[in-house]
Amino acid sequence: MLQSLAIKNFALIEDIKLDFSEGFTIITGETGSGKSILLDALSLVLGKRADLSSLRNREEKCVIEAEFSLGNYPLASFFAEEELDYDDTTIIRREILPSGKSRAFINDSPVTLEVLSQLGKSLIDIHSQHDTQQLSEEEFQFFLIDSLAGNTSLLEEYQETLKLYRKENKKLKELLDFQKNTQKEHDYNTFVLEELQEAHLEEGMQEELEEYYKQASNSESIRDNLSESARLLSEEETGIMTQMRELSSLFSRLSPYSETYNDLYERLDSCYIELDDISREIYDLADNIEFDPKQLVRVQKKLQKIYDLQKKHKVSTVKELMDIEEEYAQKVTQMENIEGDILLQEKVVANHLKELNSLAQKLHTTREKVVPTLTKSLQSTLKDLGMPNAQFQISLIPTEEYLSLGNDHLSFLFSANKGGNFGLLKKTASGGELSRIMLTIKHLLATKIALPTIIFDEIDTGVSGEIAHKMGEIMKQMSQNRQVFAISHLPQVASKGDAHIRIYKTDIAGRTTTQFQVLSYEERIEEIAQMLGGKNITESAREHAKQLLSKN
C-alpha cells in the first residue's frame, strides 16, 4: 500500500507530505484545485517521463518521494532480478533537475524509467475516465476472463511453450530455406566433387606421372643413347673400357718405382672398377627399355586431367587440388545431412505444437466455463448501478492460429437497452456506462486476484443519487482487502471513505499554491454539505451530510 507521498517544487505544490491509511480514502476539491497534479506526481513516481514544465521554481530541483509497504506483494523476486535491495518498506524517489535531467531511485539505488515503470504497475493502478478504452482491448478482456478462471499459471505455461514452438519452427524454416536456396549450389558442388574424386588424387602422383611420360615418350632416343654409350664403353679395340685397362696396366708397371705412381695406379684401378659398374648398368638399362603404348596413353590422359583441374581451380599442385576436394566433400555432406536434420526438427516442432494445442484447449475450456458466471455477475452488478437492461454476449471461437493469449478469437459484445443490437463496447456504451462497467470489472477482479492500490479518478462522473451510492458501496467493499482511493465530486461516494483529503488552492506571498488537508469528522460534514448544496451551506445540508456519514 501507499503509506506516504512527499512532493516538493512540483506544479502548484511547493512542499507537502501526506500520510495515507489502509481502506478507502476519498479525495475531493473544486475543479482546478489540483487533484490532477496529485495524479501527475504519482505518475512520475510510477515511471512517467518528466519535463521542465513540471517545476514550480525552475531554479530548484523537483523531488517526489513515495513510501510503499510491500509486505503483501510478491515482489522479492523482481528486486532480486534487478539487483535491488528489498525491504518491506520501499521508497521510490524521482528528481527533476533544473537542467531538465530526470533521475529515479528505488531505496536510494538509481534505476531506469523502464525498471521503475515495471515496479509501478505492481504498486498502483490509476484508473481515469479515459482508461475505459481498455474495456475494448482484447488483451484486457482476456485478462478479465483468465483472472476469473484462475488461468495465470496455465497461460504462463502456454506462453512459454509458444515461445519454444516459435523458436523451433523458425529453425525448421531456416533449414528448409537453406535446402531450397542451396539446391542448385549443391548440384554444382556434387559435380565438382565427383570430378575431383574421379582423378584419384594422391600426393606425389603428378611428379611420378610426369617422369614416366617423359621417359615413355622419348624411349627410342633413350634406347639409342644408351646403346651408343654401351658401345663407347665396351668396343673391343677402341672402347673406353679397353683403353682404361691398358692405362691401368701401364701404371701397374710404374707403381713399384714411386709412391706417386702407385697412388695414380690405385686411382685408375678404382675408376676402372666404377666404369665397369656403370657399363653393366647401362647395358641393363638398354636391355630393359620397353614402354607399353597403351600405358603411355593412360598416363597422358591422367596428366591432362590433372592439368585441366589445376587450371580450373587456379592452383599448381595436386596437394592444393586435394584440399579443394576435401572442402567440396564437406559442403556436399552438409547438404546431404540436411534431410535428416529437417526430419529431426519437424519432430521437435510437432511435439511443441501438440503440447501447445493441448494447453490452448485447456485455456479454451476453462474460459468457456467462466463466461456464463462473468456475464451473470456483470449484468447483475450493472443492474444495481442503474443499467437494468445491460446485456453481454461473450463468445470464444478456437482458431488454427496460436497467439500470445491462446488460439481463441474473443467476441465481447454489449447492449445497453432491451431489444437493442449488440455491438462493440466502444461503439455501443456511453462514457458513463463505460465507467460503471469498468468499476464492475475491477470489483470482480478484486475478488479473484491481488490488485495493487487502486485510484479511481472521477469514475462516478455522470451518475448521481442511488447509483452514486451503489458505486461508493462497491469501492468501499473493494477497500476491505486493498487500499482504494477515489477522486470524486459526489457526496454519496465521499461519505463512504474511511479517510478524506480535501485539495484546495490558496494564494501565498502572491503565488497560487495547492494545499492538502486531511479532514476530521466535523470537517468532513462541512465538505460533504458543500458538495450537496454549494458554498452557502445550510443546516439541512449539514444534516444530510451527517446522515450520509452515519450510514457508513
> Sorting pLDDT into bands at 50, 70 and 90, what band is 221?
confident
> Sorting pLDDT into bands at 50, 70 and 90, what band is 129?
low
Number of H helices, E strands in the chain: 18, 15
Fold classified for 2-150+385-519? Rossmann fold (3.40.50)
Is the model's pLDDT at 171 over the cut of 90? Answer: yes
Residue with cell 482476456: 142
Q: Compute the distance between CA of residue 247 and CA of residue 237 in angstroms, rounded to an integer.
A: 14
pLDDT of residue 149: 93
Residue 508: partners with Cβ closer than 8 Å, 6 or more residues away: 14
Over residues 233-256, the mean pLDDT reads: 82
* All three cell numbers of 68: 510503499
Is the model's pLDDT at 6 over the cut of 70? Answer: yes
> Sorting pLDDT into bands at 50, 70 and 90, what band is 74?
confident
What one-letter code names the amino acid at 418?
A: K
Task: Read off the pLDDT of residues 452-465 as tens digits, 9 standing for 90 and up.
Answer: 899 998 888 777 78
- The H or E element that residue 506 is part of is strand 499-508
pLDDT of residue 164: 96
Q: What is residue 458's DSSP assignment?
A: S
CB-count exposure of residue 123 (10 Å: 0-12, 13-18, 19+): buried
pLDDT of residue 352: 96
Task: Read off the pLDDT of residues 17-36 as tens digits, 9 standing for 90 and up.
Answer: 999 999 999 999 887 777 88
What does pLDDT average to over the chain? 88
Is the model's pLDDT at 527 over the cut of 90? Answer: yes
Cα end-to-end span (Å), the chain: 22
Q: Do residues 3 and 68 lie in contact, with contact meaning Cβ atoms separated by under 8 Å?
A: yes
* All three cell numbers of 375: 456475464
Task: Read off the pLDDT of residues 304-350 as tens digits, 9 standing for 90 and up.
Answer: 888 888 899 998 888 999 999 898 888 888 777 788 889 999 999 99
Residue 39: partners with Cβ closer than 8 Å, 6 or more residues away: 126, 128, 455, 457, 487
User: Whole-structure pTM over 0.75, yes or no?
Assistant: no
Residue 334 φ/ψ region, left for φ over 0, alpha for ψ in the -120 to 50 degree band, beta for the rest: alpha
pLDDT of residue 292: 66
- The H or E element that residue 14 is part of is strand 13-19
> Sorting pLDDT into bands at 50, 70 and 90, what band is 162?
very high
Q: Do residues 309 and 199 lie in contact, with contact meaning Cβ atoms separated by under 8 Å?
A: yes
Beta-bridged to residue 5, according to DSSP, are 18, 66
Q: Do residues 282 and 272 lie in contact, with contact meaning Cβ atoms separated by under 8 Å?
A: no
Percent of the chain at pLDDT exceeding 70: 98
Is the model's pLDDT at 197 over the cut of 80? Answer: yes
Locate the domains of the chain by residue range: 2-150+385-519, 186-334, 522-552
Is the model's pLDDT at 511 over the cut of 90? Answer: no
Over residues 363-382, the mean pLDDT reads: 95
* All three cell numbers of 500: 478524506
The secondary structure of 173-226 as a DSSP string is HHHHHHHHHTHHHHHHHHHHHHHHHTTT--TTHHHHHHHHHHHHHTHHHHHHHH
Q: What is residue 421's DSSP assignment?
A: P
pLDDT of residue 242: 81
Q: Do residues 146 and 155 lie in contact, with contact meaning Cβ atoms separated by under 8 Å?
A: yes
Q: Do residues 199 and 305 lie in contact, with contact meaning Cβ atoms separated by under 8 Å?
A: yes
> Sorting pLDDT into bands at 50, 70 and 90, what band is 213?
confident
Helices 318-384 and 183-197 sit at what angle, rounded to 10 degrees? 160
Phi and psi angles of residue 501, each rounded to the nearest 5 degrees, phi first: -120, 130
Beta-bridged to residue 62, according to DSSP, are 96
pLDDT of residue 130: 65
pLDDT of residue 131: 67
- 432: nearest Cα among 467, 391, 460: 460
Task: Read off the pLDDT of residues 271-317 as tens digits, 9 standing for 90 and up.
Answer: 988 888 888 888 777 776 766 677 777 878 888 888 888 899 998 88
Pairing of strands 124-128, 453-457: parallel
Q: Report the chain's C-alpha Rg in angstroms.
A: 50
Task: Read off the pLDDT of residues 466-491 as tens digits, 9 standing for 90 and up.
Answer: 888 999 999 999 998 889 999 999 99
Residues in the chain: 552
pLDDT of residue 346: 95
H, E, C per residue of 111-173 = ECHHHHHHHHHHHEEEEEHHHHHHHHCHHHHHHHHHHHHCCHHHHHHHHHHHHHHHHHHHHHH
Q: Do residues 44 and 36 lie in contact, with contact meaning Cβ atoms separated by under 8 Å?
A: no
